[in-house]
Structure 1
Amino acid sequence: MIDQPKKLAFFLPNTFTALNLACGFASIIMSWNGQFYNASMILLLGAIFDSVDGRVARMTGTQSQFGEQFDSISDVVSFGMAPAFLVYNCFFKELGRLGMVISFIYLLCGALRLARFNANIEKVSSDYFQGLPIPTAALGLVGYVLLSLEFSTIRDLTPITAIYVVLYSILMISNIPFYSFKNSSWVKTHKKRVLAIIFLVLAAIFTYEQLMIGVLIGAYVIGGLIYFITHKGALEDVFLWKNENENEEDS
């Protein structure tokens, strides 16, 4: 019989996952009502909850298949459906069916990204993400929405907005490796500097969130693309697809 502390430990990470799901649901309701700022910021809160649940599970030793599947389902809502609904209501509503298609492309690519992650979780190096993570893509859309609220002329740039949304969609299902910082030796040896950088980033977001969220996500994406282009040869074997192919040939 599982003791009470163990039950509570198992319940804790799933609580953060449920809070992430609640943020996604609330964002959908808010964007439906035209509250684009609130809908964007609550997705940022959802991303924070999403970053916590896995760490809590590892700290308490309560990782489980249930937790992984629950997390993925929550991510589809919070970082797939909610951002797609947000950009549709904010930018593409007047485009009719075309706007629906553009928004759905993002949702579809996000769901495919999560399905591929679950299928390849034992094959992909933890140092890199295979394609842009869906929470990062969602925050990229959130940053763009917030920027449009600060600079209203962006609302008139519908073709550029459509390209931006489709680009982030494609990056999610691409094979471009984005650095995860999970096993970074620099991070481990410069913990005080990393902590200072985190505080500076949080202070910048708190001070001017309309600009800083989009800038920070854009810098990560552009930096990842530049690193991939300049180190393409060194990154060819980042993912372990070759082992899978060799097994298929031997069978």
Structure 2
Amino acid sequence: MTDPHNKSADLDEDEVLEPQRPRRKGIYALPNSITLCALFCGFYAVVMAMHGRFETACIAIFCAAVLDALDGRVARMTNSQSAFGEQMDSLSDMVSFGAAPALIVYMWGLKDLGKAGWIPAFVYIAGAALRLARFNVNIGVVDKRFFQGLPSPAAAALVISLIWLFDDAGYRNASQIDWLAWSAFGVTLFAGLSMVTNAPFYSFKVFGARRSVPFVVLVAVALGIALISLYPQRAIFGLFCLYGLSGYAVYLYKKAKGRPVSVIATSTDEPDERGLHH
């Protein structure tokens, strides 16, 4: 005669020992649809630039940046993060903020410089690829308050806002205007190289999330929005120029104060990654 208590214990033990089914790796529609929309914006920007519609191309890149900021947040809000979504987001960023801006600026202001015009365009696209690869590798060890190097959406915005500013000012065939072509050369080269530096650029990921701010801050934000609406091209270009220089300012400030300048929060033991942690 079996003991009912022992039978119950055996059942409990079987339930504990039963292997759990692995979570199904699905493809979530909402965040990945937003990512695809951002990818389309990058593709559309290139097509518009091929037809000489550079203002429309610039607006499309900025739309891609807005969508890129949304897809990750939507995934976190709906608990639909996935490895597939992360890879899709990186590939979309490479098109919208890597290949597309390089091609647009080349067609707008670099093509008449000959082979010299290839240099900043290729440095930019290579910098974007290296920046995204390094970001994916170091995503778990970088201080969330800072980006390691200029983020690719900001680099794209810096280059694209230059084009938008002068295209709106009436400068056509910019590649045939020497000073404007070389200005595009310098800005594109700066943006490309800044993506692969170790300079810390503030990420704004922990700004104002759960902290109270003085009322004057909201007033300043309202004034800033009003100024941007009055002179959008100038304001956007000026803001991204300041942001593009801010990382170097923080780097020099920390160096002068004797503080560590690396944004790597913890070290890793990977020998191939040692160069990224200095």
* TM-score bucket (shorter structure): 0.7 to 0.9
Instruction: Quote how far apart the aligned CAs of 1:25 are.
Output: 0.2
Q: TM-score, normalised by structure 2?
A: 0.78
Looking at secondary structure, tell me which structure has more helix per residue: 1
Secondary structure of the residue aligned to 1:190 is coil
Write the letter of the residue equivalent to 1:52: L
Q: How many angstroms apart in 2 are the aligned matches of 1:48 and 1:36?
A: 19
Shift of the alpha carbon at 1:203?
A: 4.0
After superposition, give the CA deviation of every residue in 1:12-59 in whole Å (9 maximum; x if it has no partner). Answer: 111111110010000000011111111001111110000000111111
CA shift, 1:242, in A, is: 3.7
Residue 208 of structure 2 corresponds to residue 190 of structure 1: no
Distance 1:237 1:30, change over 3 A: closer
Q: Structure 1 residues 84, 67: closer, same or farther in 2, change over 3 A?
A: same
Question: Counterpart in 2 of 1:231?
Answer: 254
What SS is found at the alignment partner of 1:178? Answer: strand
- In structure 1, the residue matched to 2:30 is 12
- Corresponding residue number in structure 1 for 2:147: 129
Q: Kindly tell me: are residues 136 and 248 of structure 1, through their superposed partners in 2, closer, same or farther at Cα, counting changes over 3 Å? A: closer
Larger Rg: 2
Of 95-104 and 113-122, deviating more is 95-104
Of 152-161 and 63-72, the range deviating more from structure 2: 152-161
Q: Which residue of 2 aligns with 1:4?
A: none
Q: Distance in 2 between matches of 1:73 and 1:197?
A: 36
* Contact 1:146–1:211 under 8 Å retained in 2: no
Cα RMSD between the aligned structures?
2.9
The CA distance in 2 between the partners of 1:81 and 1:248, in whole Å, is 26
Shift of 1:160: 3.1
1:161 aligned residue: 184
Deviations 1:67-97 (A, max 9, x none): 1100000001100111001100110111232
Partner of 2:163: 145
| C-alpha distance in structure 1 between counterparts of 2:189 and 2:102, whole Å | 11
CA distance in 2, matches of 1:201, 1:46: 22
Q: Which amino acid aligns with 1:214?
A: F
- The answer to whether the 8 Å contact 2:43/2:100 transfers is yes
Residue 88 of structure 2 is matched in structure 1 by 70
Give the direction of change, closer, same or farther, for the CA distance of 1:193–1:16 in structure 2 (3 Å limit).
farther
Amino acid at match of 1:220: Y
Q: Which 10-residue stretch deviates more, 74-83 or 213-222? A: 213-222
CA distance in 2, matches of 1:235, 1:43: 35
Q: Does 1:174 align with 2:197?
A: yes
Q: Which amino acid aligns with 1:206?
A: S
Q: CA deviation at 1:63?
A: 1.0
Please give the alpha-carbon distance, in whole angstroms, between the structure 1 residues aligned to 2:111 and 2:271.
48
How far does residue 200 in structure 1 lie from its aligned partner after superposition?
4.5
Deviates more, 1:231-240 or 1:89-98: 231-240
Q: Is the 8 A contact 2:150 2:194 kept in 1?
A: yes
Matched residues in 2 for 1:41 and 1:65: separation? 30
AA in 1 matched with 2:204: F
| Identical residues among aligned pairs (%) | 38
Q: Residue 269 of structure 2 aligns with which residue?
A: 244
Q: Which amino acid aligns with 1:144?
A: L
Counterparts of 1:96 and 1:224 in 2: how far apart (Å)? 32
d(CA) in 1 for partners of 2:262 and 2:148? 12
Cα distance in structure 1, aligned partners of 2:204 and 2:222: 17
CA shift at 1:187, angstroms?
7.2
Does the aligned pair in 2 maintain the 1:187–1:194 contact within 8 Å? no
1:7-86 matches, within 5 Å, as 10-86=28-104
| Unpaired runs of at least 5, structure 2 | 1-25
Whether the aligned pair in 1 keeps the contact of 2:200 and 2:261 (CA below 8 Å) is no
Give SS of 2:211's match. helix
